[in-house]
Chain A
């Protein structure tokens, strides 16, 4: 007890926390320098890095969706990837019906928002108050349900959806495909918009308050139940962005195309700290680049990508469960 209350111990604890933060930033800075030097040295490396960042952004967006829901309700939403897959099918269908790509994109985001909100209201809310595990099991059920519905409507066959970005441009001798540049830009733009919503609007403040301390938020007049439903809606929007942007990089649309991405998104979220929105995005980018370089330079291990993501997940949980940016629970007495 004495060591806990002594000021020295407090200082030491703070020093360790500060040291941890510095280590994380050194690690990230080192990684960034490594990528930059590699890009300058080799065009192949640069291309792999750009496409890795682009798919990584999609993982990051999906990871952010997981983190938003986890922060608000402590539920890991296993259906997040399938929801993203289903909304991508909706975009595909809208394009088939004659909408332009961006009209379909915008309409799909709106549909995803309504769908996410409705799922929370109808499926999650009734079990939310019982236990977290009940909600998690319901989300697994939702995974199967969405999968079944998509297979029923569109069938399990392969479909093609064009990318809105075609061609490529030359950047200092490096041939960069518009597909990846556009993907990176759109996903990060959407993530930034969601961040701004949370950071600068009254609604966002209400959502953060509802996630942090529901009881106290309600006393301030925040309709907590509504905030949670809106959170699901926003998460579904992020997932839809990830799905629609990720699909062209996979070249085909099948009912299983987001399942690998979900595994990477889990790894990204855990790497970032599960409670940290920024960490999820950084984690997604890191995993995207890493796996892409791995597959690019060691093509013989391509089939080990998913097991590798699991290994990363396991390693983080063993070595640093709070991830890169997660805070350890500190309660002041």
Chain B
């Protein structure tokens, strides 16, 4: 079985600074994969390399197609939704407009899509005319996820979804991501500081250190690893 997303020897750089030193990883269709690692290890850059928002080289294939030189808009059109760190919602636009943007690459009405999304995020339905900037941080994160979901991606790239959220909301967020994965077969590549939660949700994981893959395995294997336990799980 070939993976949905495959990275081979991918390097990425910000100007003269190299952030990824040739990483290889794969996301199988229908799985959740977690990327762990300390600050500055290149976790966010890994997601950005996939979505084309950073200069990268090496081989990235998605559903058999090379993402090679594609820019972010073209990557999004192939079925990859990237929820960046800090949410990426448009606070000046209404909730409905934000969701409409999620369906920007789709033709025709997005109403059926919205109905589906509102079953996961009921509060958005009542607030569709409200400006997104008036939502709380947690609600904005939910909106960012909902927006990505309207895009109907095959692969979701989630960057630090728990950042700055109350624990209750974080749990809710992960519950929804898992539900999307189980019910809709959505594949997810998730970067997360909270290694407990990430490994609970994910089937597989990678540990990045200084722009290289330090460790890879199933979630159970990673949880059992001494260094992972000490560095990321804290026991």
Contacts A205-B100, A205-B101 known; A219 to B88 CB distance under 8 Å?
A: yes
> Mostly helix, strand, loop or mixed at chain B's interface?
mixed
Q: Does B214 contact A (CB under 8 A)?
A: no
**Interface flag for B211 (CB, 8 Å):** no
Size of B's binding interface in residues, CB under 8 A:
24
Q: Are B76 and A209 in contact (CB under 8 A)?
A: no
Q: Is A221 an interface residue (CB 8 A)?
A: yes
Q: Distance (Å) between the CB of B191 and the closest chain A CB? A: 15
* Contact residues in A for B53 (Cβ distance below 8 Å): 215, 218-219
Residues in B whose Cβ lies below 8 Å from that of A222: 73, 101, 104
**Given A218-B71, A219-B82, A219-B88, A212 contacting B93 (CB threshold 8 A):** yes
**Known A-B contacts A205-B97, A209-B90; A220 and B51 likewise in contact (beta carbons under 8 Å):** no
The answer to whether B90 touches A218, judged by C-beta atoms less than 8 angstroms apart, is no
Asked if B127 CB lies within 8 Å of chain A CBs, one says no
B93–A221 CB distance below 8 A: no
Number of interface residues of A (CB under 8 A): 18
In the complex with contacts A205-B97, A205-B101, A221-B77 CB distance below 8 A: yes
State which of B51, B82, B101, B151 has its C-beta within 8 Å of the C-beta of A217. Answer: B101
A209 and B105 CA atoms in complex are apart in Å by: 14
- The smallest C-beta distance from A218 to any residue of chain B, in angstroms, reads 4
Query: Which of chain A's residues have a CB closer than 8 A to the CB of B90?
Result: 209, 212-213, 216
In the complex, the answer to whether B92 meets A223 with C-beta atoms within 8 Å is: no
A215: B residues at CB distance < 8 A: 53, 72, 84, 88
Inter-subunit contact A220/B71 (CB<8 Å)? no
Scan B66-95; emit 1 where CB is below 8 A from any A CB, else 0. Answer: 000001110011000110100011101100
Which A residue's beta carbon lies closest to that of B101? A220
Q: Which residues of A contact B71 (CB under 8 A)?
A: 218
B77 nearest in chain A by CB position: A221
A218 partner residues in chain B, CB cutoff 8 A = 53, 71-73, 76
Q: How far is the CB of A230 from chain B (nearest CB, A)?
A: 14
Query: Which listed residue (B76, B92, B133) contacts A220, Cβ 8 A?
Result: B76
Is the C-beta of B212 less than 8 angstroms from some C-beta in chain A? Answer: no
Interface centre among B88, B89, B102, B147 (most CB of A within 10 A): B88
Residues on B facing A (Cβ under 8 Å): 51, 53, 71-73, 76-77, 81-82, 84, 88-90, 92-93, 97, 100-102, 104-105, 133, 147, 151
- 19 other contacts beyond A220-B104, A221-B73, with CB at 8 A cut-off? A208-B93, A209-B101, A212-B93, A213-B88, A215-B53, A215-B84, A215-B88, A216-B84, A216-B88, A216-B89, A218-B53, A218-B71, A220-B105, A220-B147, A221-B77, A222-B73, A222-B104, A223-B73, A224-B73
Nearest 8 interchain pairs by C-beta: A221-B76, A221-B105, A218-B72, A216-B88, A220-B101, A219-B82, A223-B73, A218-B73
